[in-house]
Structure 1
Amino acid sequence: MARPEPDQPLLPSVLDRLIDLEPGTTTEARPRASARLEELKRSVRRDLEWLLNSRRLLASPPPGAEHAPRSLLSFGLPDFSHVSLENSEHREALRRTVEEAISRFEPRLMAVEVTMPEGDALRRGVRFRIEGLLRVEPSPEPVSFDSTLRLPTRDFVVED
């Protein structure tokens, strides 16, 4: 990822640049730097939720397809609907998979670490804590998100 100049404004994601929340307005007001940072964090949170709720099309890449692991065919998580999340080994495997997917497909975050709080009950879901550094200038900004995998539906909710 190219590093922007220190005086360059934070660049929203491609999706955020394509969405026009005020189509009747011909010019957009420039938000303050702190507002842009909060907006960027919200954008990352939303995109993390989309990533974690997407399922891969490929279980494993075909032979000779060296770029497949970083392509849209591998975007998201593998299907884990058959996995027993009451098993601690399966939960740990899912934690690693979540961490790898974020590291691979969310370029705005670096030094990603996903942890699972100890002693959490499985009644409603499996909780994850996502921590990393948001790539902004002049220095990376620490961020963290709390995520819950809801057991009945197997969907993720990501919160600030």
Structure 2
Amino acid sequence: MDYGQAPLLDRLIDEDPANSRESAQQRLMDAREIKALVVRDLENLLNCRRSIASIPDELRELQNSVAVYGLKDFTALGADSHQVRQTILKDVEKAIARFEPRLKNVNVVIETGDHKERSLSFQISAMLVVDPIREPVAFDTYFDTTRKAFVISG
């Protein structure tokens, strides 16, 4: 089984402050653990709304900064129209490409089905790359209208 390095933030969290030394094993994670962290981080990304709607061309440096972390606020538009759904999916793809470096070749597609006509459901597929781990992943995602938040499984 391959192990990849835990993300920086997770390495900085001290689960056992009384112990001044950590083994190398505590800094490494298997693919399942890394995938769970990616789900957590994707939910944080998709459930955050941008504070800036658009960036002027002369401020290009801001386009990859925390100022544009998250998604545009689509709540006023609703997700009933095909065009709005496609716009949301493109925004999801762009946000993941910008802020989730462990996922490469990200593709987001609407999940279809009778029960999904009134809700926004889609699948995120990508290549999980955390050296030496490299494996395809897929995350089923939907907007939970009760919690008013995206929920991801996979």
Report TM bin, short chain.
Answer: 0.7 to 0.9
1:109 partner letter = L
Q: Paired residue for 1:98?
A: 92
Tell me the TM-score normalised to structure 2 length: 0.86
- CA gap of 1:45–1:120, structure 2 versus 1, over 3 A, is farther
Higher mean C-alpha deviation, range 62-71 or range 137-146: 137-146
- CA gap of 1:19–1:124, structure 2 versus 1, over 3 A, is farther
2:40 to 43, 46, 49: 46
* 1:10 aligned counterpart, secondary structure: strand
Q: Quote the Cα distance in structure 1 between the aligned partners of 2:133 and 2:14.
A: 29
1:112 partner letter = V
* 2:30 aligned counterpart, secondary structure: helix
2:136 to 100, 121, 142: 142
The answer to whether residue 124 in structure 2 is matched with residue 125 in structure 1 is: no
2:79 to 73, 85, 107: 85
Q: Is the 8 A contact 1:120 1:127 kept in 2?
A: no
Give the Å deviation of 1:123: 7.4
Ranges in structure 1 where 5+ consecutive residues have no aligned partner: 1-6
* 2:124 aligned counterpart, secondary structure: strand
Q: Paired residue for 1:110?
A: 104
Tell me the TM-score normalised to structure 1 length: 0.83
The answer to whether residue 36 in structure 2 is matched with residue 26 in structure 1 is: no
**Pairs aligned (count):** 152
Note the aligned Cα RMSD (angstroms): 2.4
Give the Å deviation of 1:106: 0.5
Higher mean C-alpha deviation, range 20-29 or range 75-84: 20-29
The answer to whether residue 83 in structure 2 is matched with residue 75 in structure 1 is: no
User: CA offsets per residue over residues 131-158 of structure 1, 9 Å max, x none?
Assistant: 1001133462111111111234431111
2:128 partner letter = L
2:20 partner letter = T
Higher mean C-alpha deviation, range 132-141 or range 39-48: 132-141
Q: Is the 8 A contact 1:86 1:122 kept in 2?
A: no
Ranges in structure 2 where 5+ consecutive residues have no aligned partner: none
* 1:82 aligned counterpart, secondary structure: coil
Structure 1 segments of 4+ aligned residues over 6 angstroms from their partners: none
> Which is richer in helix?
2
Q: Quote the Cα distance in structure 2 between the aligned partners of 1:105 and 1:95.
A: 15
